[in-house]
Amino acid sequence: MSARAGIVVTGTEVLTGRVADRNGPWLADRLLELGVELAHITICGDRPRDIEAQLRFLAAEGVDLIITSGGLGPTADDLTVDTVARFCGRDIVLDTELEARIAEILKPMMARYTGPGAPDFATVRAANRKQALVPVGATILDPVGTAPGVVVPGTPTVVVLPGPPRELQPMWHKAIATTAVQEALAGRTHYEQQMVRMFGLPESGLADTLRHAEGAVEDFHRLEITTCLRRGELEIVTRYEPEVAGSYERLLTLLRDRHARAIFSEDGSHIDDLVAAALQGRTIATAESCTAGMLAGRLADPPGASDYLAGGVVSYSNEAKVELLGVDAALIAEHGAVSEPVAEAMAAGALRRFGADTAVSITGIAGPGGATPDKPVGTVCFCVALDDGRKITRTTRLPGDRADVRERSTTVAMHLLYRALSTD
């Protein structure tokens, strides 16, 4: 059996749902990449007895490694280090070098606060001294913010990480390099992991292919395959030991043979990154109705988006379509705002308004109202237009509630855009 791990996510705000847990899933993926079996992810409040109960539960399950996230700040409810020390049977001591390091981090932060009522540095340093209290014998992980992490060796070894993902993620890479974690994971199985992403294929179609693969691919049973439908896309993650890499290649060949048009990524790349790469050297404008700027937001997410994103128009009302994009009011009257002719006119208007060479438009009925017998909720029209006259226009019916329709609309638009740019 491979090395096993458990994750304890702490924080009453996470337990109650006010803050979504981003650390558990992220750490789960990192453990999977390492070939470590994840036994449990637990979420508990900031009460020490509840945190310790989760630690004891995971230890009783026989895990080799426990990872905690959250509860490392300077406030009274940040008690994870104290609780872990008690669980591991270790005293807490003040690390003066760490205290000085935290003070140096605080100085430029405190410089931002000036004038009457500004906090006194000595007071703030004293309040943050708590973060320099560490279990005896623990390995200290240098802070990314002000909170250091610690690795406490033992059976199981415990890795204590901060709650903010921007601090936890870089610190995790330091944690796995420590001797204690390497020893805890010495029994792990080494795996390869690959991801294929598809769009436009129903889950039932993929399920049929995987059933066929059971008899067509040698050692198929040694491929650990996980599928997930996310944002209207299918993710197929396959984990395998290196000696059956040939079996994965045969599976990949089968997927290509059956679903070549649906596969858009064989290395796990997201459609947003592929579109960003395809837009290099181009300029794009958006014209959105039912998505109200969500597509422009996705296009702006990758670093360097200012190189290609010219701008966008949220033309939610018919008047906005006419006044901001130059759509002929007679066209709307004849075909309706949710129609392919109007989508094409919106894209053409975005090209003109921003002087771009690429434009995408979306107009649809997200619901729950606004439907007609021939245009039910989920009806969405798209147009991708290039300045050389080429265009792709589509109408689709998207499932789900209002939020689902709006989000899936942006995914359809991104794939139509990628298809148009890939044939450029």
Q: How confident is the model over 199-250, as pLDDT tens digits?
A: 999 999 999 999 999 999 999 999 999 999 988 899 999 989 999 999 999 9
Is 394 exposed, middle or buried, given 0-12, 13-18 or 19+ CB atoms closer than 10 A? middle
Structure confidence by residue, pLDDT tens digits, 88-112: 999 999 999 998 888 888 777 666 6
Measure the CA–CA gap between 384 and 395, rounded to whole angstroms: 12
What is the pLDDT averaged over residues 348-364? Answer: 98
What angle in degrees, to the nearest 10, is found between the helix axes of 245-259 and 203-216? 130
Strand 309-314 and strand 284-288: the pairing is parallel
Measure the CA–CA gap between 276 and 280, rounded to whole angstroms: 7
Structure confidence by residue, pLDDT tens digits, 386-410: 999 999 999 999 999 999 999 999 9
Going by pLDDT thresholds of 50, 70 and 90, the confidence category of residue 75 is confident
Q: What is the pLDDT of residue 205?
A: 95
Measure the CA–CA gap between 268 and 193, rounded to whole angstroms: 10
**Closest to 286 in 3D by CA, of 359, 358, 339, 363:** 359
User: Which residues have CB under 8 Å from 198's CB, separation 6+?
Assistant: 206, 233, 234, 236, 259, 262, 263, 264
Distances (CA, A) of 204 to 132, 210, 339: 54, 10, 30
Structure confidence by residue, pLDDT tens digits, 153-211: 999 999 999 999 999 999 999 999 999 999 999 977 788 889 999 999 999 999 999 99
Measure the CA–CA gap between 1 and 188, rounded to whole angstroms: 8
Is the per-residue pLDDT at 414 higher than 70?
yes
Q: What is the pLDDT of residue 125?
A: 65
**Residue 136: CB atoms within 10 Å:** 12
